[in-house]
Structure 1
Amino acid sequence: TKSIVLQIDSKPQAVSASALRRSLQERLSKISSKSSDEIYLKLKTSTAPPLKLIDLPGVEKGNLDDSLSQYVQHNDAILLVVIPAAQAPEVSAAKALRIAKEYDGECTRTIGVISKVDQASADPKVLAACQALLLGQGPRSSADIPWVALIGQSVSIASAQSGSVGSDNSLETAWRAESESLKSILTGAPQTKLGRSALVETLAHQIRSRMKIRLPSLLSGLQGKSQVVQDELVRLGESMVSSSEGTRALALELCREFEDKFLQHIMTGEGSGWKVVASFEGNFPDRIKQLPLDRHFDINNVKRIVLEADGYQPYLISPEKGLRSLIKTVLEMAKEPSRLCVDEVHRVLLDIVTASANATPGLGRYPPFKREVVTIATTALESFKNDAKKMVVALVDMERVFVPPQHFIRLVQRRMERQRREEEIKTRSSKKAVDAEQSLLNRSASPQTGSTSKSLKDGKQDKDAKEGPALKTAGPEGEITAGYILKKSSKTNGWSKKWFVLNEKTAKLGYTNKQEERNFRGVINLEVPIEHSKLNLDVIGYLII
């Protein structure tokens, strides 16, 4: 639509495009060319965000340095750097470009405009500089900025071609004429950067880019406001339905929500739900362990109960009557821990009721109904607590009254199984001792001299020929004697226990550190003269341990 509402001095009025142009020209013509005051133009439409255009004609003269930052520091502000075509060769020295680079170093919201190209059409140097800017081949400070070329008399050109300055289509005609004129002047420049149509397209592209950047934050803000509104509605409460059936349905729905929250606390352990399990698995077993069971199952107390119950001639198989009496007495002590467990669970459930009511959003909207639900649940839990106490007492009494015979049979079976395991352990231990002794005898029957080993036949005398508990004899005629002897070391001047083997036939005495070793560490020849060996068999006998 071409309908435009112009608001001047707070008085809106519908105007056409041509009327708007003439009104702007009349108002701008009254402003002195030497004035440095800002010129504001605000555009609003129902299909696009509002735009505020601010012209700062005094920037080049330095009159607006103090107030300039309040306009250009905003991220949503698009900077239009307008350079006359005659200054294109020296664009790097333009103050407006330096200000734009200062506030927009990445050139993401800056657009360059080369104006009055028609007035410099006779200067090839200027035209070449303009084409370089449009092609992005200008100085480094201007290479990242999109540039658009304009002429200064587009409306006059359109009027000369169409002859209808006052028509509504004069602006569109002027823009088309401007583009055609620029094509003839800047033959090497891109056509998408010529004329006011290209400027409008470039501005629209920048606005869309800025909107895409701002869109996530805008959506986040809207969601935040929506949450605030929902929280306020929850705080104020929804309107109750008018009919009794609707009220009943709403109450039942809130009760179901409360029930779901209550079961969630119980099943998942949320809040205080874990304390229910802790009562059964922790506190209750601890109380049972603290009962004086050792005093009741003391052997003297058991004997006394058996004598009192069965007399001095009890049953031949088992004093069952006395043991039954003992079990009944002990089970009676379990009633009090059971009641305490019920009380503890009851207190935990009361806390869960309060927590579930607070965690139900629907009940929060109706405080009176919430208090009523908590009261009803508390009353029901009180009734359940009384029933639970009666139930646990009845369960204990059932165990006390009926002690099955299988209980005593299992006791006897466990005792017999324990005795069998103990006997097996003793048998294995004695067998190991016998095997070790036999291995010792077999080891003693295998003497060695130097590096030569000789196998001897086992005889009946290797079991009987013993001179003492520390000596072992072997060989057909008992000529081999083995045992531990203390040997004095020449290095340490101390005594150490060694395993010696004496062969009377060969007159040699060998020794090892341990009985299990297969090779002798040393061999003493007993046939050498006494004065050389310094060894006396009587002395050896005294050293045997």
Structure 2
Amino acid sequence: MTTMESLIGLVNRIQRACTVLGDYGRDDNNTFSSLWEALPSVAVVGGQSSGKSSVLESIVGRDFLPRGSGIVTRRPLVLQLHKLEGGSQEYAEFLHLPRRKFTDFSLVRQEIQDETDRVTGKTKQISPIPIHLSIYSPNVVNLTLIDLPGLTKVAVEGQPESIVQEIESMVRSYVEKPNCIILAISPANQDIATSDAIKLAREVDPTGERTFGVLTKLDLMDKGTNALDVLEGRSYRLQHPWVGIVNRSQADINKNVDMIIARRKEHEYFASSPDYGHLANKMGSEYLAKLLSQHLESVIRARIPSITSLINKSIDELESEMDHLGRPIALDAGAQLYTILELCRAFERIFKEHLDGGRPGGDRIYNVFDNQLPAALRKLPLDRHLSLQNVRKVVSESDGYQPHLIAPEQGYRRLIDGALNYFRGPAEASVDAVSSFAVYARVTIFEVVTK
């Protein structure tokens, strides 16, 4: 696989498999190597209200992300873009809904919200478990982006004070990986020195080799000012060029202005701008998407040997673990039933060996039935329960005072039920005592079966 489409598509499939298997690079106690951490990815980082969601929607060409005040993105969103041939209908698929195709992107937005609430509840908490969304469209390039919660400095109502640190820790866990490409989103109408995204990127990538800077809201800057010092790398230099973006205004969003039209307006803005006209061919969301796709493909190409090595290492680790666990369980029902019966016979044999003295601990079960249970039964108030006075009372209440041609059935049943209830406590205590011992037998049978 040497083409950009096949390389990025291969990584997409591996990432999906990692998510299904619970590997998304967050479990420090994982026995096995994390394949997710070895896969190149593009993490989108920015402060709240930096225009992060608008950049993603502009790259995709669709409204599909939840909007609102406060923390809207509360779980990582792994967004995989797949380019279709012209004329094909665009649609979206979620990994947790593999058989459903979404052609209405307002439903995609609602599903992201619902799936977030399913894990975090209808609160403002966050979760590291990612949502996988694939979008197939003729208007995108092959690219994988990870949308992360927006960095914030203050907890809002309904959030613990620790939420600020929790978000930063989650974002940091992605961007500090050496295989992560950082897409740092900063608004142009704020001083770049105060940018949350750049501050974090500088800490984890001090040389700027993995960071792409994106400047949003260029059209909202004060008249007479521009962002050329940033875009041309004089204010803060990165190894990769800065890219300016002009997103839709809130009025355009309210009017549901089409994304394709918005892209055209963005292109016209840069082409006609006296400040940015000389950079027009290196500005805009379309250029950013192509730039990221090309860079991601080159990073994947360079990482192929290490990814292959890690996959082979993981296979060896899993095969070793499988060998330790023992032979695999058969798939057909007959063979599974045979395995269950075999386990039961082995358990019975080992348990009998404990009782017969061939293995230690059998005396504890004998003690339960020879001493513990008889002593408990002798303390039961059966003489009071079955006294003549109580029998007469129970029978009269159950069957009335009419003479009986046969035994008073209802009364006898109540007497029996009452006596059985007395036995329940000692019986359950005996079962618990034997069950606690049986743990040793279960451990032994596990050792026998896995050999």
TM-score by shorter chain over 0.5? no
Larger RCO, structures 1/2 (Cα 8 Å, 6+ apart): 2
Normalized against structure 1, the TM-score is what?
0.32
